[in-house]
Amino acid sequence: MAAISKAYLAGLLAVLTGTAVLAGCGTDSTSSGGGGSQTIQIWEGYTAVEAKTFSHMVAQYEAQHPGQKVSPLFVNNDNTLQKVLTAVRGGSPPDIAYLYGSWAPNVAQIPQVVNLTQVVKRPNVNWDDFWTGERAVATVNGRVIGIPAVVDNLAVVYNKTLFAKAGLQPPGPDWTWQEFVADAKKLTNPAIKQFGTAYVTPGTEDTVWHWEPLLWEAGGQLLTPDNKKAAFDSPAGLASLNTLRTMAVADKSMYLDPSDSAYGNLFNSGKIGMLVTGPWDLSSFPDVKYGVQVMPAYPGTSGGHQTISGPDNWVIFNNSPARVAAAEQFLLWYTAPAQVKYFAEHTGNLPTRQSVGDSAAVSQQMNTALPGISTFISNLGNVQQARPQIPQYPKISTILGNMVVSVLLGKSQPQAALTAAAQQVDQALAAG
């Protein structure tokens, strides 16, 4: 009994000691510091080799710019919005944050977001050197609110071994969706649980942005030019959904992945013939002899082989003029051509600047390190348009996600799904 009360006294003591210890512990995250050193805080989601490269570059920056300190904090990109919004509400935003491009039209409404329109006009920034798609996503209503952080696009990654086994010609640069569907069917073998292709079906933007390039290639548009009404309930929309439906429902050549992660591992295990995916997945396929080809086209339309890109932004928040200036200085250094080249070559990420991406030497070197990446780099030229930069896009994304998933699951016919979704999108746009 006495032991128990002693234990409780010990417990109380521990709590008090703990509190005292904590009073001494804990550091202040951002400080302008004494002696003229400026620290900026940057929230990023770099992992693995990207993280190592970034650390190295930060050290380089600090060495080259004495008195400037960069304090990175890892935050998963998916969680950054939550953290930023809470911090903004609480009055302590970071200096720089990595934010998905799809959030840009909404993030632009945050008062602390710095307007970079004049900054990017400075002579050595060379704003037009960034790819069109990136600049479109960094600009909201004419205001530049971010500097491009990453760029990518969708192309087709295929398993050369499976193609050879099935006696199929590997895809050529002029191939069509008909060929894609036929190839997928031939590559499907239920007996060994092999699928011709896969599609991610969580119903989120991931589902939607894999479908949008098909719509564009078929010559269709998502919304009317004034962004007030849906425009995808059209022959092009029907063609795009029919392509997906044929594979998912009729031929059953499409593996449906609601987890958004199994498809890559399946491809690496040699169970999937072709994937429509991005450059980030290439390093996940060490066990497969893969090839990369541009997306197929719909013959007889104006769409060509265009693809979609999903750029993300570095956004600067206004904590104080000194910190904004320091943040701008860092970002402009970090996104300068020399650093873009360094980052691309060391991580395999696509270069965010055209001057770097157009360089044959860079492309070749990157392709040696990561085969197939050069096709993705040149595919950036196929990015002709971007998703609508409107605040209601997240609502529209949900509607479109459900539309695509219901067609893929065979729960609705393409035309009916298109009409229903178009109605809902019109309502969402009208509500504002």
Q: Which is nearer to other proteins, 250 or 409 (CB)?
A: 409
Position 432 contacts other proteins (CB under 8 A): no
DSSP secondary structure string for all residues of 286-326: TTS-EEEEPPPB-TTSS-TT-B----EEEEEB-S-HHHHHH
- Considering only 32, 68, 268, 413, the residue that binds other proteins (CB under 8 A) is 268
* Candidate segments 139-147, 166-174, 255-263, 373-381, binder of other proteins by CB under 8 A: 255-263
Position 23 contacts other proteins (CB under 8 A): yes
Q: Which is nearer to other proteins, 2 or 63 (CB)?
A: 2
> Which contiguous run of DSSP H or E holds residue 92?
none
- Considering only 33, 82, 115, 322, the residue that binds other proteins (CB under 8 A) is 82
Position 249 contacts other proteins (CB under 8 A): no
Q: Which is nearer to other proteins, 25 or 361 (CB)?
A: 25
Which positions from 111 through 140 interact with other proteins, judged by CB under 8 A? Answer: 111
Q: What angle do CA 392, 394, 397 make, to 5 degrees?
A: 110
Strand arrangement, sheet containing 254-257: 254-257, 195-200, 272-277, 155-159, 290-293
Asked whether 272 and 255 are in contact (CB, 8 A), the reply is yes
Minimum CB–partner distance for residue 287 and other proteins (Å): 6
Q: Which two tokens stand for residue 202?
A: 């969580």
- Considering only 101, 133, 278, 311, the residue that binds other proteins (CB under 8 A) is 278
Q: Which is nearer to other proteins, 83 or 185 (CB)?
A: 83
Position 299 contacts other proteins (CB under 8 A): no
Asked whether 227 and 390 are in contact (CB, 8 A), the reply is yes
Minimum CB–partner distance for residue 105 and other proteins (Å): 10
Q: Measure the CA–CA gap between 87 and 82, rounded to whole angstroms.
A: 9
Q: What angle do CA 160, 165, 171 make, to 5 degrees?
A: 40
Which positions from 381 through 420 interact with other proteins, judged by CB under 8 A? Answer: 391, 394-395, 398, 402, 405-406, 409, 411
User: Closest by alpha carbon to 330, among 77, 161, 104, 149?
Assistant: 149
Q: Which two tokens stand for residue 308?
A: 């979609």
- Mapped onto helix, strand or coil, the DSSP state of residue 170 is coil
Position 378 contacts other proteins (CB under 8 A): no
- Considering only 33, 56, 86, 169, the residue that binds other proteins (CB under 8 A) is 86
Position 204 contacts other proteins (CB under 8 A): yes
- Considering only 56, 67, 79, 174, the residue that binds other proteins (CB under 8 A) is 79
For 431, residues 6+ apart whose C-beta sits below 8 A from its C-beta are 392
- Considering only 72, 291, 304, 337, the residue that binds other proteins (CB under 8 A) is 72
- Considering only 58, 61, 83, 385, the residue that binds other proteins (CB under 8 A) is 83
